[in-house]
Structure 1
Amino acid sequence: MRIKQISVSGLFGIFDHVIPLNIDERITIIHSPNGFGKTAILRILNSFFNSRYTDLRAIPFRNFRVEFDDSTSVEIIKNTENVENSEVNIVINFYKHDLKPVSFALRRVNSHDDKEILISFSSDDLIPAKEQLYSTGLMNLSIEKIRYLEDYLQGFYSLSSSNFKLQQEPDWLEKLKSNIHIHLIESQRLLNFVPKRSSKRSAETPSMLSTVSAYSDELAKLMQDKFKEYGTTSQSLDRTFPIRVVKQQPSTDLTDEQLRHQLNELEATRSRLIEVGLLDKDEDAEFQIQPQDIDESTKNALSVYVQDVEKKLSVFADIASKIDLLRKIINNKFAYSYKEINFSKEKGFVITTSYNSPLSNSKTLLPTDLSSGEQHELVLLYELLFKVQPNSLVSIDEPELSLHVGWQVQFLKDLQDITQLTDLNILMATHSPDIIQDRWDLTVELKGPHK
C-alpha cells in the first residue's frame, strides 16, 4: 500500500495544492516560491501518520487528503468555524471503494490541558532550552547553525508534548497507519533533542546533542550488536561442527573448482567486512587450499565449513551494504577537503584528514569538527540508510542546505542509489535547480491562486 497523491485546500487560508507522486521512479520533488507551504505539507503528512495531533492542530488548513494505490483514501477536515465553541476540531474520514466512509472525530483538549500545553511552550519556559544552546557551546559555532533557533525550540516543544494521547484511535485508523510509514527529515537536522532521565525526578526531560555525534554513537552500537549476533551464531555452529562433518554425506555434485571458488568468495566477503569496520583484521584467517590438498574427506569438511561461514557472515549483509554505500558517497565528497571517513565498532564514525596543519598534529577529527555542509550531508545520508524502515515514504525538507553546488548536482544520483538499496519512496521540497538538474519530470510545482 503506497501513497499515490496528496492534496490540500485552504492551506494558510490561501493555497490549494495537488501533488501526484511518481510511483515508478519513487522520487517526487516539490518546488515553489517561499511561503507556498512546502514545509507545511510535509509536516501535516508526518503529523497525521505519526499521531502528532498537537503539531497537526498548529498548521492552518481546511482539508488534507491522501490517496493510495489501492483506490482507498483518507481525508482530514479541520473545523475552522466556531472553533472556540466546538469540541470537535478535526474529523478524519476513510474512503474504501464504494463503501460508506468511516469517520473519527478528534476532540479538542479541555481548557485545563490546553493551558498546560501552552504554558509548556511559553517564552519564559523556553529560557532553559535557550540557555542550553549557550552552555553546550553550539551558539558559538556559526550563524548558519543557529539560524533555526525557532525550529530547535519547536523540536523541544514537540518532544515534550509528543506523549499527549488525547483519544484512543479506532482500529481502522491504527491499521491504516501501520501500513503507511512516514519519516520526516526536517531542515533543522544538526541538533537533536533526546530524552534524558533527570536525577531529581523520574520523568524524562529533553537534552540537546549534536546529531552527527548522536548518529556516530548509534552506529557504533549497531555494529557492536551485529558483532555480538555474529559471535552467538559462530558459537552455535562451531559447537555442532564436528558431528555435522561426520554425518555429512559425500557430495558428488560439488567439484574441486566450485569449492575453491566458494572459499575465494568467502575471503572476499570477509575482507569487505574488515574494510567497513565490522570485522577485525585478526578475524581474517586466510584459508589457502592447494588442489592436491582436496580429497573426498577434506571436501566434505570444507563443504560444511563453507556453509557455516556463509551463515556467520550473512549476519552482516544488510548493515555492511549500507555502511559501504555511505562510505562510498561520503568519501567522494570529503576528498575535496582532504578528509576521509571510516567506521569502527568502538567509535562509529572515524574521520581523518590527510592535511598537514601547523595548528594541530592530530590526524583524527571529531564528527563535530566537520563543516556545516559536511555534517548536513552525513546526517541526511545516515538517516536515509539507517533510520528508516523499508517501504517508507521519506519526506526531506530542503536537502540543499549548506551543500556546495557540486554536491547538490550529485544528490539525486546518490538518492537513487539509496532508494534502490533500502526500498524507499522519497518526497522532497527544494528551492535548488541544481538538485533537480534535468529531471523536471520528477517535479511538481506549487502555485498560488490567480490574482
Structure 2
Amino acid sequence: MKIKQISVSELFGIFDHIIPLNTHERITIIHGPNGFGKTAILRMLNGFFNSQYSVFRTIPFTKFRVDFDNGSYVEIWKNPEGVQKAKTKEPIKIEFYEQEKEKVSFLLKATNNTANLDFPIDILDDIIPEIRRVGAKSWRYLTTGEILSLNDVIERFEDILPSKAKLREEPEWLKNLKQAIHLRLIESQRLLNLVSSPSSRLYYGNPSMLPTVSAYSEEIAQLIQSKLAEYGTTSQSLDRTFPVRVVQQQPSPEVTDEQLRHQLNELEATRSRLIEVGLLDKDENSDFQINPQLIDESTKNILSVYVEDVEKKLSVFSEIARKIELLRRIVNTKFSYSYKEMSFNKEKGFIFKTRYRPTTSNCETLSPTDLSSGEQHELVLLYELLFKVKPNSLVLIDEPELSLHVGWQAQFLKDLQEITKLANLDILMATHSPDIIQDRWDLTVELKGPEP
C-alpha cells in the first residue's frame, strides 16, 4: 500500500490544498510562496505515521486526508462535529475508510493526565537525546528549537517511552495502518540534529550527543565493521567445508578454461572495487593470471568451487558497496571544486582530504565537522537517503536547497533520481528553488491561495 494523494482543508484557517503524488517517477515537488503550508503539510504527514500527534494540535486546520492506492483513505479532523471542544486543546478524530468495510474511528484525546507516569521526569533527557530540560515541566526540542510541555513530550516521543508510561492505547487498525507505510522526514534543520553516540563526550558536554556529520561517520564505520564480521563468518563456514565440497564436486565440462579465467578476473575486479571504497584491505598477493596449460579437469573442479565460494563471500558487501560507491561519486564530484576528496575507513568512517597544496604533495586530513555548511548539508541529506531509510519508503524532504550553491541545486534532482532507483524510495519534497526543479515542472504541485 502506498500514498496516492494528500489534501488539507482550511490550513491556517485559509488554504485548501490537494497534492497528488507522482507515483510513476516517484518524485513529487511541492512549491509555492512562503506561508502557504509546504512545511506544515510535511510535518502533518510525518506526525500521523510516526505518532507525533502534537503537530495536529499546534497547526490550525479542519481536515487532513491521505488517500492510498488501494482505494482506502484516512481523515484527521480537528474539533469534529459532535465532540465538545476541550477547554485548552481541541480534540482530534481519526477516521479510516476501506472499500466494502464500515468506517472506523478513534478520538485522539489530549494527554492531560500525566499523574500516572511511573518514572521520574528527570530521566526524559536521557531517554530522548533530542530534548533539553529548560523548566520544571518544559523542554527544548533541539531539532527545531520548540519549547515542549510534558504533554507535548509524551505525545511526540510516546513510542520510545517505557511501555508502562504510555498514556494512550491505539486501536489495532490504526497501528496496522501506520505500520503499512514507512515514512521518514528529513527536516530543514539538518545540521542541528543531534544523534545518540557512545563516544561523544567531547561534544556539548553531554556523553550521549554528537553532531550529525560526526555521528553518521561513526555509524558508517560500525556498519562496515558489521559487514566485515559477516564476511568473516561466511568465509570461515565456506573454508571449513571447502575440501569436502571439492571432492564431491561433479565435473563440469560445460565450463571452459576461458570462462573460468573470466570469472576469476571478474572476482578480482569486484575485490579491487571493494578495496577502493574501503570495505576490504588491500592484498599484495592478488595475481589471478593462470597459465592455460595448468588447467586440467581436477584443477577446473577446484577452481569452480573456489569461484562459487568467493562470490558468496563478496556478495555480503553488494548492497553497502553500491550505496557507498554512489555516495562517494556524488560527493567527490561536488566537493572537487574545493579540492576535497572523500573516502571510507572501517575505523573512522568518513575520511576527507584536501588536495590543494601548492608547496607540497601531502594531503591534509579533515574532520567531517571541518566541512562547510553547504557540504555538511549535502552529505547529511545524501547519507540519510541512502543509509537511514528503509526500501519502499516515502521520504519527506524540506528545503533541500539550504546552503547549496546554484550549481549543486541544478544537479540535485538528477542525483536524487539515481538514489531513488538504487534505494527504492518515493520522494515528496518542498522547495522554493527553481534551480532544484530545473525543467521538470511536470513533477511539481503548486500550492495556491484562495480564489479572490
Does the pair score TM above 0.5? yes
The equivalent residue for 1:134 is none
**Offset at residue 59 of structure 1 (A):** 2.1
Q: TM-score, normalised by structure 1?
A: 0.87
- Structure 1 residue 59 and structure 2 residue 65: aligned? no
Aligned partner letter, 2:77: I
**Offset at residue 382 of structure 1 (A):** 0.3
Q: Distance in 2 between matches of 1:316 and 1:121?
A: 39
RMSD, aligned CA: 3.1
Q: Which digits, 9 at most, give the CA deviation of each residue in 1:179-214, with x for residues without a partner?
A: 1011000000013233579xxxxxxx9954211111
The equivalent residue for 1:162 is 157
The equivalent residue for 1:448 is 449
**Alignment partner of 2:86 out of 69, 74, 84:** 84
| Residues 112, 180 of structure 1: alpha-carbon distance in 2 compared, 3 angstrom cutoff | closer
| Residues 283, 380 of structure 1: alpha-carbon distance in 2 compared, 3 angstrom cutoff | farther
SS of the residue aligned with 1:10?
Answer: strand
Q: Distance in 2 between matches of 1:155 and 1:409?
A: 38
Which stretch shows the higher mean deviation, 324-333 or 154-163? Answer: 154-163
The number of equivalent residue pairs is 425
Q: Which digits, 9 at most, give the CA deviation of each residue in 1:293-323, with x for residues without a partner?
A: 1110000000000000000000000000000
Q: Distance in 2 between matches of 1:95 and 1:217?
A: 44
**Offset at residue 52 of structure 1 (A):** 1.4
| Residues 232, 381 of structure 1: alpha-carbon distance in 2 compared, 3 angstrom cutoff | same
| Residues 112, 59 of structure 1: alpha-carbon distance in 2 compared, 3 angstrom cutoff | same
Aligned partner letter, 1:30: I
SS of the residue aligned with 1:92?
Answer: strand
Question: Sequence identity of aligned pairs in percent?
Answer: 67
SS of the residue aligned with 2:247?
Answer: helix
**Offset at residue 84 of structure 1 (A):** 2.2
The equivalent residue for 1:312 is 313
**Offset at residue 111 of structure 1 (A):** 5.2
- Structure 1 residue 171 and structure 2 residue 166: aligned? no
Q: Is the 8 A contact 1:191 1:209 kept in 2?
A: no
Which stretch shows the higher mean deviation, 257-266 or 417-426? Answer: 257-266
Q: Distance in 1 between matches of 2:79 and 2:207?
A: 32
**Offset at residue 156 of structure 1 (A):** 11
The equivalent residue for 2:393 is 392
Q: Distance in 1 between matches of 2:115 and 2:394?
A: 33
Equivalent residues in 2 for 1:130-141 (5 A)?
none
Q: Distance in 2 between matches of 1:303 and 1:252?
A: 11
The equivalent residue for 1:23 is 23
Q: Is the 8 A contact 1:271 1:284 kept in 2?
A: no
**Offset at residue 283 of structure 1 (A):** 7.7
Q: Distance in 1 between matches of 2:343 and 2:16?
A: 46
**Offset at residue 450 of structure 1 (A):** 2.5
Q: Distance in 2 between matches of 1:356 and 1:76?
A: 59
The equivalent residue for 1:189 is 190
Q: Distance in 2 between matches of 1:182 and 1:325?
A: 22
The equivalent residue for 2:42 is 42
Q: Distance in 2 between matches of 1:128 and 1:363?
A: 41
| Residues 86, 404 of structure 1: alpha-carbon distance in 2 compared, 3 angstrom cutoff | closer
The equivalent residue for 1:223 is 224
The equivalent residue for 1:424 is 425
Q: Distance in 2 between matches of 1:366 and 1:62?
A: 48
Consecutive unaligned residues of structure 1, counting only runs of 5 or more, are 131-148, 198-204
| Residues 154, 24 of structure 1: alpha-carbon distance in 2 compared, 3 angstrom cutoff | farther
SS of the residue aligned with 2:283?
Answer: helix
Q: Is the 8 A contact 2:195 2:212 kept in 1?
A: no
Which stretch shows the higher mean deviation, 161-170 or 174-183? Answer: 161-170
| Residues 331, 98 of structure 1: alpha-carbon distance in 2 compared, 3 angstrom cutoff | same
Q: Distance in 2 between matches of 1:233 and 1:444?
A: 49
**Offset at residue 85 of structure 1 (A):** 4.5
**Offset at residue 171 of structure 1 (A):** 1.6
Q: Is the 8 A contact 2:278 2:345 kept in 1?
A: yes
**Offset at residue 401 of structure 1 (A):** 0.1
SS of the residue aligned with 1:151?
Answer: coil
Aligned partner letter, 1:390: P
The equivalent residue for 2:32 is 32
Equivalent residues in 2 for 1:148-159 (5 A)?
151-153=144-146
**Offset at residue 79 of structure 1 (A):** 1.2
Aligned partner letter, 1:209: L
**Offset at residue 437 of structure 1 (A):** 0.4
As a proportion of its length, which structure holds more helix? 1
Q: Is the 8 A contact 2:197 2:215 kept in 1?
A: no
| Residues 112, 344 of structure 1: alpha-carbon distance in 2 compared, 3 angstrom cutoff | closer
SS of the residue aligned with 2:144?
Answer: helix
Q: Distance in 1 between matches of 2:14 and 2:84?
A: 19
Equivalent residues in 2 for 1:144-293 (5 A)?
151-153=144-146, 161-163=156-158, 165-195=166-196, 207-282=208-283, 285-293=286-294
Q: Is the 8 A contact 2:3 2:21 kept in 1?
A: yes
Q: Is the 8 A contact 1:245 1:304 kept in 2?
A: yes
Q: Distance in 1 between matches of 2:319 and 2:285?
A: 20
**Offset at residue 127 of structure 1 (A):** 10
**Alignment partner of 1:102 out of 95, 101, 104:** 104
Equivalent residues in 2 for 1:344-363 (5 A)?
344-356=345-357, 363=364
| Residues 351, 29 of structure 1: alpha-carbon distance in 2 compared, 3 angstrom cutoff | same
Q: TM-score, normalised by structure 2?
A: 0.87
SS of the residue aligned with 1:83?
Answer: coil
| Residues 389, 162 of structure 1: alpha-carbon distance in 2 compared, 3 angstrom cutoff | same
Q: Which digits, 9 at most, give the CA deviation of each residue in 1:385-444, with x for residues without a partner?
A: 000000000000000000010000000000000001010000000000000000000000
Consecutive unaligned residues of structure 2, counting only runs of 5 or more, are 123-130, 199-205
| Residues 309, 6 of structure 1: alpha-carbon distance in 2 compared, 3 angstrom cutoff | same
| Residues 156, 22 of structure 1: alpha-carbon distance in 2 compared, 3 angstrom cutoff | farther
